Amino acid sequence: MYKLSPLNPFNNQQTSVMRLLDNACIPFDPANSDFANFKKEVLAGAELQDADGNVMTDAAEYVRTLP
C-alpha cells in the first residue's frame, strides 16, 4: 500500500509517494527502481491513497500519467 506525499509547496506538484510498509519516501524519478516497482504494483491492483489518506479509486489511471 502506498500514500501520495503532500504537494510540494514550492511548485504545487506531486513529487513523491510513501510506501506504508516501511515509510520509505519514493521520488517520482523514472531512474529509481522503487518508483518503477510502485508503478508496477499499483497497476496490478495495489492500494494507493491520496495525501489525505483516502483510497484512490482511479489509482491506475493516475499512475499512467506519471513519468
Percent of the chain exceeding pLDDT 70 equals: 100
Alpha carbon 5 to its chain's center: 8
Name the residue among 30, 32, 28 with its Cα closest to residue 18. 28
Residue 2: its pLDDT value, please?
98
Classify burial at 3, counting beta carbons within 10 Å of its beta carbon; exposed 0-12, middle 13-18, buried 19 or more: buried
- pLDDT-derived band at 56 (thresholds 50, 70, 90) equals very high
Q: What would the mean pLDDT of 33-40 be, rounded to a whole number?
A: 98
Beta carbons of 15 and 8 less than 8 angstroms apart: yes
Segment 10-36, tens digit of pLDDT: 999 999 999 999 999 999 999 999 999
End-to-end CA distance of the chain: 20
